[in-house]
Every structure is written in C-alpha cells, then in structure tokens.
Amino acid sequence: DAGVTQSPTHLIKTRGQHVTLRCSPISGHKSVSWYQQVLGQGPQFIFQYYEKEERGRGNFPDRFSARQFPNYSSELNVNALLLGDSALYLCASSLEGGRYTGELFFGEGSRLTVL
Amino acid sequence: AQTVTQSQPEMSVQEAETVTLSCTYDTSESNYYLFWYKQPPSRQMILVIRQEAYKQQNATENRFSVNFQKAAKSFSLKISDSQLGDTAMYFCAFTWMDSSYKLIFGSGTRLLVRP
C-alpha cells in the first residue's frame, strides 16, 4: 500500500507569489494534517482536516489556507509568499480525526524555497 | 502554552553502544501522549515510540525504550545496541489526549552513529 504522498517534492518561488501543495493520505485515512518545518527546527502544526472540515489551526497568518476533498486528499495554499515561508511542508494522515487514538503517518514533504 | 524542549542539538555514539536523548515538556494537562519520532536524511518522519501519560510503565520497542518521569515532566529515549541506520534527527513530541492530531514538537537532536 502506498504511504502518504506529497507533490511537488521541490519547488522554487519568488516573494509575493502563490503556492499550492498537494497531499494524498494513506488509503482509508480520513484525516490530513499539515506541518511546517523550517530548517533546523521541529515541525509546527498548521492545519488539520477531517471529513473535509477544519478540525484545528495553528498560529499561522491568513495567507495560509487548506482544504480537503471528498477523496480525502488535501491542498495547502500559501499566498503572498515571504522569504520566511521557505521550509519543508509535511503532510500527515490518520484514520480518525477526533480524539487521538492512533498513529500519525507522515509524507516525505514538499521543500519550498522562496527567493 | 505547551512546550517541548530538547537541550541536545547533536549527539554522537559508537556503533553497538547505548545513547540517551533527553526531552522535557511543560503542560498543565494530566492526560496526554508523548512521542519520539525519527527523521532520517530521506526526510520521512517515522514514529519510534509512544507513551501514554496515564501508564506508569515505560514504553519499549525492541532496542528503543523511554524513561518517563511524569512529575519531573521528563521523557528521555534510550537507544541500545546503536546501529548505523539509527543516524537521524530525533524529535520529541506531545499531544493532548482529547485533542485532534495537533502535535507539539521539540527542536530535535541530531544523532550520528559512528562505525
């Protein structure tokens, strides 16, 4: 079975541009979470979606948005890119999305560089 | 606010020896989970071990074990018989038992296993 897949794996943008990152969860998983990992730091929680509804949001500006589709895949959108948005963006999936009951599975991430 | 602190940015161990990675956390909650995640150079985050705060017994997974001191809010990871494949970033993480899948990560410890 395929794990969590993310695309693109690497991308370069310039300041002010917009970016869309995509994530496909493990088959059967209904919840997707997004994390931002700046170089040299631990991942920071951005969003969690479960059954197409936002279940949690981290301390990120409104330039960050996300959505989940009926097939449970997800997109993370970032508008008006800043240099500080350069990071590895990790997607993680889980069976459920409410009370923590099981493992969170991570993808390999999308490396975003903003010039 | 909940925080997770890893005070060892880098550690090194000889192959086949034992190493302990430290983690402290701060929370006012009584029910929570603690985790150690491994992030090899390939970037995919993998769960190493999980501890439920209500369990007094320390979790073990083969060569990996934890020393969970709830009163001291300490959660260290011991790796026995270190192998070259253990070379990676190790992240300590926390989540509330009643939360969604919002994990709070520490800043990580880079472990190098020397042949």
Domains of chain A: 5-114 (2.60.40.10)
SS3 A35: strand
Q: Compute the distance between CA of residue A71 and CA of residue B13 in angstroms, rounded to an integer.
A: 45
- Which residue in chain B is spatially nearest to A50 when comparing CA positions? B100
Q: Compute the distance between CA of residue B102 and CA of residue A75 in angstroms, rounded to an integer.
A: 18
Per-residue pLDDT of chain A (115 residues; tens, 9 = 90+): 689 999 999 999 999 999 999 999 999 899 999 999 999 899 999 999 988 899 889 999 999 999 999 999 999 999 999 999 999 999 999 887 666 666 889 999 999 999 9
- Structural domains in chain B (count): 1
Shortest Cα distance from A77 to chain B (angstroms)?
A: 19
Shortest Cα distance from B115 to chain A (angstroms)?
A: 25
Non-local (6+) Cβ contacts of A71 within 8 A are none
Please report, for the domain that includes residue B86, its CATH number. 2.60.40.10
Q: What share of chain B is helix, strand, coil (3-state, %, to 5)?
A: 5, 50, 45
Contact B101 A99 (CB under 8 A): no
Contacts B51 to A, Cβ<8 Å: none
Contact B102 A56 (CB under 8 A): yes
Domain enclosing residue B85, as ranges: 3-114
Judged against a pLDDT cut of 80, whether residue B99 lies above it is answered with no
